[in-house]
Chains A and B, each alone.
Chain A
Amino acid sequence: MAGGSGGADAADDTRTARSLAALSFAITVIAVGVPVWLKTTEIYRAAIPYGGIAGLQELELRVGDGARLEVLAENGPAAERLAAGLAPLLPDCRLDGRSFTEAERGRLAAAADPWAADDALNSVGESDHLRLIVLPERLVPSAAAPVMFGRYTDVLVTPTVGAEQLAALLRQTVVGDVSDAVATRRVRSAPAYDLLVGAAGRLLEPVIERLRPLANISVKSQHLYHADLGVRPGWDDTAGEYFLSEEQLSLVVTPLEARLGASVSGRPTLQFVVYVPSPAERPLHLRPAGAADAFLSPRWGGVQVYNPPAGQETVDARRVVTVLVTQLRLLLGVPEPPLEAVVRPAGPSGLRGWELMALRRLRAVENVESARRNLASLAAMLEQISNIVIDDSRAIYDPSMLALLYFPDDQKYAIYIPLFLPVSIPVLMSLRSIWGWARGAPEKVKAE
């Protein structure tokens, strides 16, 4: 181990040894370390179909989409003719026509007028889709309106009905989009509602049953004694009554609500107040005079004033509930047929079959709209926050989503640098000398 030439060989040998050793370090760091780093710090993001969500924004949904309208007539060709006539006017609905079945004919034979025919056709149960019944000639009264809305899911038409008129009426009611006036008045869709009623009763049960496919309504009632409306009614000498003007009505609702003490629940609350004025202020009417002394507050509920007959202190439940059901219908956004259409009285359940169907269709459209909006905002948020974990099965409110939410990128570097930088500097610097050795350049001896 002595001698100049041996020394040079030994120096070369050590240089090779040193370079190989440094190279093995570098290889391990790059080939093992970097993939391990990338794999272990990746944030699991389940694939989100951003394209699909964006595409959903283009979707135009109408209330009538996919509605099924079946035309029934005495004979098949007549039904099909009407259906074919309506098809271009109602492009989003599915129209088909057929003749009456034997059973239906039998039941119709016993009917004497359109409403009886309506009952007869629905005696074994309401149909689950909208039907246009072309009445037989004998059932059509001479001065009948061409279109009559039944109590169930049928619309009765005369054989000579015009397709455009029929389509227009159907658009307004059964398969129509909701008008702006109704949209601001109706309470938002919810799976359940709370009804606070001033004076309820068994009369409400059929209504609530009828609405059950749409929503679960729970009714609560309370009585408030010695309650004041908070506004002083005017006295009309000529009519001999107290009255509340329109401007005063808007001041009534807020103090009333403060006193009503609604319970907190997750469901939208509809308040229906029956106000019985004190004997000193009877009779109390609302001006301008309407069919009943009642008014609606959009999305909140309704107030009606009930003047008991002279000498009595009881409340006529039937009258009260009638007004209440009307207000409920308005608040739910039940489509109102135009004044010139003939509509059959709704009966004890307060809601006609086709109205319920329209409400459900409206609810479906609202849900799709809301889902679409939520998805769009969710996708936008997830795209913006790049380090949030997207789990396959958990929703946005799950606590595990917050694990990385407030973890800015620069904190990550604060974690890596103290450990890895001091270690990697010699490795990186030795890469230079490895490069020199690989190229075969003579070793540079550093001056002290």
Chain B
Amino acid sequence: MMEPLLLIGGAFVRLYLMHNDFFKNLCDGTIFSTPVSSWKRVTEGSYLMGQDISPYEGDMVHEPPLTLLLYNLLLQNFAGIVPAFFILVDLLTAHILKRTADKFVQKQEKPAVRSGAAPPSSPSPVPLIVTAVYLFNPCTAVSCAALSTAGLHQLPLALVFYAAVTERWWLCLCSLSVSCYLDLYPVVLLAPLLAAVGAAGRSRLLAALLAAGCWAGLLLLSAHALGDWSFLRSTYGFILWTWDLSPNVGLFWYFFTEMFQHFESLFIATFQINAFIYAVPLTLRFRGQPVLVMFALLVLMVTFKSYPSVAEAGLYLALLPLWRPLAPHARYGFVVTCFYASVMVLAPVMWTLWIHAGSANANFFFAVTLAYNAAQIFLVTDLLFAQLKRDHVLTHGTAKEVEGKPAKLVLC
């Protein structure tokens, strides 16, 4: 009853934003449309395909082939309903997130119920909060209005979380391979997923093979549809080598505009390793909580990927309420909230000042971007520390001593 209302409300918000001039100007910025997720480039690719030219020949199109073909189909035949398509995908993602939250909260409350406590009197508000956060979050709403395909890429990621929580492993691994096919970075989620698969008693090797096989199948299908493998350079090659340095909310562009050419490959390798390196250590450290690790890796992935857009932040912000029990142990809640609020306001302001008014420069915008990324890092580390503290409290009580000596809690 609440949920359909929320969905309808979300749809209206997006429709309004799509037809409002002020937000139309806002949407032009690369905060919402990176070179990887811009709808303009998709239409360009569709036009090129109509002219029998390979869309990957130039440097414009970086969309994977199968989705490009899907969009092409849409544009050719149902051009009018493209905005509706984006809104529908967003609503579907919100619904999947609600189902995920339902199941997760149920699992969270199970130990308490089993140990004899009375079942909660009213159903937890968390699932509805999750849905509402996703639908009414300015990040996702404006991204949908800007027709950013990054919003569409959140659907497989939401499915991954849903299937991981409901332990539907086939669905989980297949949506993970779809997600990896679309952007490269979700492959970091494979580590906690394999840990979860192992904890559930299934074969990890089989799971890894399934994921790899699905991904390979998608690549082969793309090559078959296009006729050659040239798309690899424009999609994965582009994501890994980041030769387009137009500004976005990520960390890459500012750094590499100032890099000496001789060191470019070293630092690109460093940045990309940095994006992938946290998967295994975090999985090892938090062996018992794969979903937490998946969430942490999601946030880190959004922070360190080469072309992030704020739509991706919308997903993890929506999932954040799932860890409400950790809130009492979190130290930086207020700071992070303030960070996010100010970044939401300042980012479009600095962008407009820099690009449209010409009275600011790249440093202003990059400062806001740095604050945004710092907020994400604070969020992750705070959450992980909160989890550790909660574990410690549950085992040792609130005493600050271990075996009679004062102790300090460390992450690693």
Contacts and interface: CB of A to CB of B under 8 A. Distances in A.
A123 B396 CA distance: 117
Contact of B280 (A1, A24, A41): A24
Given A6-B395, A21-B281, A24-B284, A41 B263 contact: yes
B412 interface: yes
Interface string A1-16: 1100011001100000
B269 A41 contact: no
B227 interface: no
B407 interface: yes
B79 interface: no
A41 B261 CA distance: 10
Interface stretch (B198-206, B303-311, B398-406): B398-406
A25 B406 contact: no
A32 B273 contact: yes
B266 interface: yes
B260 A415 contact: yes
Contacts of A40: 263, 265-266, 269
A41 B287 contact: no
Nearest to B287: A17
Nearest to B396: A7
Contact of A20 (B260, B284, B394): B284
Interface string A160-193: 0000000000000000000000000000000000
A44 to B, nearest CB: 10
A28 interface: yes
Nearest to A28: B277
A372 B143 CA distance: 68
- Residue from B269, B285, B403, B412 whose CB has the most chain A CB atoms within 10 Å: B412
Contacts of A255: none
B122 interface: no
Interface string A24-39: 1100100011001100
B407 A448 contact: yes
Interface residues of chain B: helix, strand, loop or mixed (majority): helix
A135 B206 CA distance: 100
Given A1-B394, A448-B406, A17 B284 contact: yes
Contacts of A6: 395
A446 B266 CA distance: 37
Interface string B384-399: 0000000100111000
A9 B277 CA distance: 28
A441 interface: no
Contact of B407 (A25, A36, A445): A445
Contacts of A37: 266, 269
A409 to B, nearest CB: 13
A419 interface: yes
A239 B44 CA distance: 99
B284 A7 contact: no
B324 interface: no
Given A21-B285, A21-B412, A32-B273, A445 B262 contact: no
A17 B391 CA distance: 14
Contacts of B277: 25, 28
A24 B263 contact: no
B2 to A, nearest CB: 35
B270 to A, nearest CB: 7
A78 interface: no
A24 B280 CA distance: 7
A355 to B, nearest CB: 55
B19 interface: no
B282 interface: yes
B281 A22 contact: yes
A447 B407 CA distance: 6
A36 B285 contact: no
A67 to B, nearest CB: 51
B356 interface: no
B265 A447 contact: no
Contacts of B273: 28, 32-33, 36
Interface in B291-342: none
Interface residues of chain A: helix, strand, loop or mixed (majority): helix
A21 B269 contact: no
B266 A447 contact: no
Nearest to A32: B273
Nearest to A35: B269
A237 to B, nearest CB: 81
A32 B265 CA distance: 14
A32 B274 CA distance: 11
A254 to B, nearest CB: 51
Interface in A36-67: 36-37, 40-41
A103 interface: no
B114 interface: no
B268 to A, nearest CB: 8
Contacts of A7: 395-396
- Residue from A32, A36, A404, A430 whose CB has the most chain B CB atoms within 10 Å: A36
Contacts of A22: 281, 412
Interface string A228-260: 000000000000000000000000000000000
Given A21-B281, A32-B273, A446 B408 contact: yes
Interface in B341-387: none
Contact of B285 (A11, A17, A32): A17
A263 B196 CA distance: 85
A291 interface: no
Nearest to A430: B412
Nearest to B388: A14
Contacts of B280: 21, 24, 28
Contacts of B402: 11, 445
A403 B284 contact: no
B88 to A, nearest CB: 41
B388 to A, nearest CB: 9
Contact of B281 (A25, A33, A419, A447): A25
B370 to A, nearest CB: 15
A293 B400 CA distance: 114
Contacts of B407: 445-446, 448
Contacts of B396: 7
A33 B274 CA distance: 10
B327 to A, nearest CB: 20
Contact of B403 (A2, A404, A445): A445
Nearest to A389: B262
A36 B273 CA distance: 10
Nearest to B402: A445
A404 B285 contact: no
A18 interface: yes
A10 B281 contact: no
Contacts of A2: 394-395
A33 B270 contact: yes
27 contacts: A7-B396, A10-B395, A11-B402, A18-B285, A18-B410, A20-B281, A20-B284, A21-B280, A21-B285, A21-B412, A24-B284, A28-B280, A32-B273, A33-B270, A36-B269, A36-B270, A37-B266, A40-B265, A403-B262, A407-B262, A415-B263, A445-B403, A445-B407, A446-B408, A447-B406, A448-B406, A448-B407
Given A17-B286, A24-B284, 5 more contacts: A36-B269, A37-B269, A40-B263, A445-B405, A447-B405
Top 6 closest A-B pairs, CB basis?
Answer: A21-B281, A40-B265, A40-B266, A21-B285, A448-B406, A21-B284
